[in-house]
Amino acid sequence: MKNLLKFFIAVVILLSVIGGTNYASAEEHKVHVYFFWGEGCPHCAKEKMFLENLRDELGYVELHSYEVWRDEEGQQILFTLARESNLDYSAVPITIIGDQVSYGYGSEATTGEAIRHLVEICHINQCADQVGMIIAPNGGDGLETAIEAPQSDIDLESGEISEKIDVPFFGEIDISAFSLPALTFVIALIDGFNPCAMWALVFLISILLGVPSMRRRWILGLTFILASGIVYFLFLAAWLNIFLFIGTLFWVRMIVGILAVGAGVYYLYEFWSNKEGTCKISSSPSRRRMLEALRKVTMGDGIWIAIIGITLIAFAVNMIELICSAGLPAIYTHILSMSELPGWQYYLYLLFYILIFLMDDIIVFVIAMLTLHFTGLGTKYTRYASLVGGVIILLLGFLILFFPELLMFG
The stretches of 62-198 forming alpha helices (DSSP H) are: 72-85, 113-125, 130-135, 180-192
Q: Residue 198 has what DSSP assignment?
A: S
Provide the 8-state DSSP code for 91: S
Spell out where 232-298 has E strands. none
Taking 3-state DSSP, the helix, strand and coil percentages for the chain, each rounded to the nearest 5, stand at: 65, 10, 25
- Which residues, 6 or more positions from 322, have their beta carbon under 8 angstroms from its beta carbon? 232, 235, 329
Sign of CA dihedral 45, 50, 55, 56: positive
Please give the DSSP secondary-structure letter assigned to residue 101: E
- Range with the lowest mean pLDDT among 184-188, 231-235, 314-318, 342-346? 314-318
Question: Which is more confidently placed, 161 or 69?
Answer: 69
Alpha carbon distance 285, 282 (integer Å)? 8
Closest among 95, 49, 105, 89 to 408, alpha carbons compared: 105
Distance (Å) of CA 301 to CA 60, 216, 306, 307, 405? 81, 11, 8, 11, 56
Q: With bands split at pLDDT 50, 70 and 90, how would you rate the model's confidence at 323?
A: low
Task: Give the whole-angstrom CA distance, residue 349 versus residue 362.
Answer: 19
The reported pLDDT for the residue numbered 35 is: 93
Measured over the CA atoms of residue 336, residue 342, residue 347 and residue 350, the dihedral's sign is: negative
| Max CA separation in the chain (angstroms) | 120
331 or 91, which is more confident: 331
* Dihedral over Cα of 125, 126, 132, 134: its sign: negative
**For 92-149, how does the pLDDT look when each residue is reduced to its tens digit (9 = 90+)?**
889 999 888 888 887 888 888 889 988 988 888 888 888 888 876 554 444 444 444 4
What predicted TM-score, i.e. pTM, was given to this entire model?
0.57
* pLDDT at position 410: 54
Residue among 311, 367, 323, 315 nearest 195 (CA): 323
All CATH 3.40.30.10 domain ranges of the chain, comma separated, are 27-154
Q: What is the dotted CATH code of the domain comprising 27-154? A: 3.40.30.10
Q: What is the DSSP letter of 171?
A: E
Confidence class for position 71, pLDDT limits 50, 70, 90: confident
The angle at the Cα of 298, spanning 297 to 303, to the nearest 5 degrees, equals 85
**Looking at this protein, which amino acid is placed at residue 194?**
N
